[in-house]
Structure 1
Amino acid sequence: MTTQLDCSVGLKKETTYGTAVTVDRFPEFIDESFAWNPSFVQGAGMRVGSRLARSARRVLAKQSAGGDLNVELVSKGLGVLLEALFGNGVSTAVPGQAGVFQQLYTPTTTDPLNSYTIQKGIPTLGGGAATAMTFLGAVCTSGEFSASNADIVKLKTTWDAKEVKTDVGYAAPSYVAGGELFHFAEGAITIGGSQTPPTATALATGGTVAATIEDFSVSFDNKIDDGGFTFGGSGKRNRKPVVGLADAKGKVTAEYSDTILRDAYLNQTALGLTLTFLSTTTIGTSAKYALQFHFPEIRLEGELPKSAGGSVVKQSIDFTVLDGLVAGSPVYVALVTTDATI
């Protein structure tokens, strides 16, 4: 028996693009919008005595699927989504910390991205069994991280899939035990100054602490292509999509307490940015669960401070993440966890 709360989403990396595998990772999610995206074409030929488009002249010429998955970021079980988004992920044991691992994610520089089977289970009204809708050949096209004031850190991923099937058996969900939510009270941000990127086993360090930031968001778009719909594919994509020139953009809101960010915007100064969420829970000997975003070079895109009618003056500051062509990656996401594998 079910209730309307008993919705599930599961996923697993595919071996062959578009060939179903049994999903075995089940994130606790806020909402999802996975849907079928058909392209119907209607014949336009005229026929005496017929004033409506005819059913025999309607064809399904092209189809795809996909949607969004919105989750809260937790210290365990998160790796599968981060690897899907960035394409690269490595899990390394932290020296001297038994049972502690640091997972490091960076954008792939090799085509193609991994594809996944995603299955959602939706219960029917009245306590009936969950119905399965399975999305094959799902590739994570983009993701947006948000750390709002006094809130839980969230990630919305967007997926492009080859097709949706309803004849794949429902996989009952099983959830990762333990783990903690990352949230606003655990966060600290540095902007500018001398910063050292994270390594396989150590988080990024250095920089100038920014004590006036109220919220933060950043998006990463793989800019996958929209091709691959070729003859012989029954109107479906025949191959995995390939990546393009990725786009990473963000935004912070800051109280206006000094001119540092204003001047960095006006002078287009290259700045490093690191945002770290550090749990108070000890794992291993002395380690803590942690989630960290590090961008070696960003450029600010506004704005100049404006009067606020007597209220505290705030700046809404957009930024773009750029590749400074130095050793390493222009984007890092690090996760300190007790998960040994991604």
Structure 2
Amino acid sequence: MIRRRPSSGLPAGAGPAAGSSAQPHVPVLLDAVVESLRTEGGIAVDGTFGAGGYTRALLARDPALHVVAIDRDPTAIAGGQTLVAEFGGRLRLVPGRFGELDTLLAEADVPQVDRVVLDIGVSSMQLDVPERGFSFRNDGPLDMRMGADGPSAADIVNEADEAVLADIIYHYGEERRSRAVARAIHEARRRGRIETTAQLADLVAGVVRVEPGSHIHPATRTFQGLRIAVNDELGELVRALHAAERVLKPGGRLAVVTFHSLEDRIVKQFFAARSGRSAQGSRHLPGATAEVVRSFRLATKGPVLPDEAETARNPRARSAKLRAAERTESDVPEPLAALTALASLPDAARLGPRR
């Protein structure tokens, strides 16, 4: 595990993309990400463009680099148009899911690339807009969709079976009181639909207690679980890791920033399996002994963590971890089925005790 030395912060101009909120999304571990990618011209993919922080830094650092940036959020694509103009054609914005980055690149006539960066999870530009329904800090519609399609959080809360709700909140939100929360939701929706973030947050606060003096809201884990389920975030991550493996040239770099243990576990196990580190097997990837295909070599020794100065400037960085690896000349192996299991809701019997 590597903790970053104090850095100089953002490069000049690495603020929010046009159209973002007054509280910009600050890219986490920016210097470490750029350093891990070792750009020297070629093509990089920013699979989670957001407010464009990583893209801007990469383009500013390397005048010979071109970037293809992907985002499923229409507001991110719209907000990045000024960045396209600023860098004179070296940036191409592509709407879509980062789990399909290989397909999107093929459609853009970009079969192989030199670098891929993924910043997993929700961005400040989504959290800080009440209308998006990601946060309980300000009341808004219970939506949570990163794109404009599919069921919303309100749809899941009001229509999913109580047992399914409990599984979502427990496995994706890591909330030990998941059954009590699901039961409270089930009882409340009998009286009428739960449509707003405040309604849900108040409901959860009635059954989940936090330690005195804790700064964590009782609904934090429930909201996380629903958001991950709404956007299939872990499934997207698994697909994106395999897609990046397919499009990276030998010597190309993949850098992934995660923000909670569920995401980091998937990235850690993927790199371990693909670099041969899991040749003895593990409880998460029990089938890793079958064949060792070293399609990556590790570029970081354990996770890179933000330093104290960065977490002081940006509290949302406190749980961030960066892992990076370099593509070898190995052929692309079969996708790791065990990773899909990590990203899916397990059987109730495997979830352990819940209250």
TM-score by length of 1: 0.24
More strand by share: 1
More helix by share: 2
